[in-house]
Amino acid sequence: MSLLILFKLLGSLALLMFGMKSMSEALQKLAGPQLRHVLGTMTTNRFTGALTGVCVTAAVQSSTATTLMTVSFVNAGLLTLKQAISVIMGAHVGTTVTAWIMSLGIGFDITDFIYPAFFLGIILIYMKKRRIIGDLLFGVAFLFLGLATLKEMGTLLVEDPATNAAISTFFARFNTDAFLHSMFFLLMGTILTVCVQSSAAIMAITMMLCSTGVLHIEQGVMLVLGENIGTTITSNFVALSANTQARRAAFAHLSINVVGVIWVIILLKPFFAFVCHLVNFDPGMSPSEPNFAIKASVALATFHSAFNISNTLLQIGFISYIERFVCWVIKPKNVEEEEDFRLHFITSGIMKTPELSVFEAHKEIEDFSDRMQRMFGMVRELLTEKDEAKFTKLFERIEKYENISDNMELEIANYLDQISDAHLSDETKAKIRAMLREVSELESIGDSCYNMARAISRKFHGKEDHFNEKQYHQLHQMMLLTDEALSLMNQLMRGRKENFDIQRTINTENEINNFRSQLKQQNIVDVNNHEYTYAEGTLYMDLVNECEKLADYVLNVVEARMGARIPD
């Protein structure tokens, strides 16, 4: 019997976590890009930042999702560290809504609403335009089904003498007044949350154990405090491969909750007594008394809310000091990151949603595009370099960038391929297809730059292949036009496509094509007039043609980003 109860308990926990994940993802899909816009703009001061964190977390039902998004925005440079700290503080308050949902599921019979939600959800899923709402209903239904099953398991624990006695005896060993025993439950809550990667799931189990009387309410309170520390570990794991500011934001998340837990432990008795008085709950109340389950779950939800609200109000005035502290602890890396291949925005993380993952890929492609223009700038510099040592060093940098472009294409494409395995909206699928085309074309730009660098290297080390002044002048003109096309491409990548004038890119590309045709005709005349050799003319036209090809790749990137076919 005990083994069966254990498996039912694990199964109900899995249902609960799946429901939370599905509900959170559906809510984020419904919010769409507006969610990013809200986080990016409504953070003008610490109070609006905290309010934004509260609203976004309450909307998506996941403080982890809000925190991961915030860390990603800091990594992308869309939020300052100070803004991120205020949003994270608000996220702590917003997550208390989830605890109240748990309390509703534990304290009341909600099974009558579960199956109608499943039925309505499956109908909406088969209606393409309402599929996300159907996913949301399925997530809510699975969440409450998991809670109902947990409640049933709690009843079985009480009714099964052997299981009840074993669990009660284990918890009875720990005196609620002993400091070390309290620390044990604090540590247990932290470790379980880190392992499960969901504070909501551990909160539900804590409520179930306390509402059945198996776990004393004061031990449950320590588990709740441990959960608040454990939930901060996810963002720190994600930020390990991010930039310095993002790691600081994640560490601030941890620091805020650790400081909060410390002061609550110091004032635990009066603080908990205040909470109990607030909800009219007696900690010595017998589990057999009427409404014990409701009162115990409400008391835990109230404690969770009181802790997070108080902690935010106490620390919101010290955001500047928190910022200084995390900057002091986490020092910047003394490396030139642009010279080393690593993805700056795509991080390996847990519980990411497609919306956040697509945003990270978007920022990574933006960085890829910027790198390619820097690479072309090196090619322009290489053309006029006369010193052999400097020429060799610059050519090696271009070779390094060629390897970087190959690796970036592969890594970003693999990441987008992983995202595409998830259940995505049609809009997100279209974005991923466009991004895959963008990275392919950007890698081709890198190939063109490298081809030009090799041609210039042949000229530099050749005995006879030298350009005259007119050829240099015309090449500089062609490269200037090509660089203008790259600048327009990066302007689009960094901005909003609604504000981009695509006609300027088309005009620049046409100008490059016409100039290439003009130089091609002139080259034939100049070779026939013996102004330079055929070999020199061939090398010269190789560079001109590569510039024209590069401009075609730029146009393809713009076409993919704009989502419209550009007429030839």
The two structure tokens encoding residue 440 = 């392919």
Q: Which two tokens stand for residue 323?
A: 């910022």
With b for 16 or more beta-carbon neighbours within 10 A and e for fewer, the 196-217 pattern comes to: bbbbbbbbbbbbbbbbbbbbbb
Which pLDDT tens digits describe the chain residue by residue (568 residues)? 466 666 777 777 777 777 767 766 776 666 555 555 565 555 566 777 777 777 777 666 566 667 767 776 676 666 778 888 888 888 888 877 777 776 766 656 666 677 787 888 888 877 767 777 788 787 777 777 776 776 666 666 555 555 555 566 666 666 556 667 778 888 888 888 877 766 777 777 787 777 777 778 888 888 888 888 888 876 777 667 666 777 888 888 889 889 989 998 888 889 888 888 888 888 777 767 777 778 888 888 888 888 888 988 888 888 888 888 988 888 876 544 444 555 666 755 444 566 667 877 888 898 899 999 999 999 999 988 888 889 999 998 898 888 888 888 888 888 888 777 666 667 778 888 899 999 999 999 999 999 999 999 888 887 555 788 888 899 999 999 999 999 999 999 887 777 888 888 899 999 999 999 999 999 999 889 888 888 888 888 999 999 999 999 999 999 998 876 655 5
> Are 551 and 509 spatial neighbours (Cβ–Cβ below 8 Å)?
yes
Please state the pTM of the whole predicted model. Answer: 0.61
Q: Could you give all domains of the chain from N- to C-terminal order, each with its CATH number?
A: 2-329 (no CATH), 348-562 (1.20.58.220)
Q: Which two tokens stand for residue 56?
A: 């976004």
Tell me the chain's radius of gyration from C-alpha atoms.
30
CA distance to 249, 256, 316, 480, 500, per residue, from 319 (Å): 12, 10, 6, 47, 37
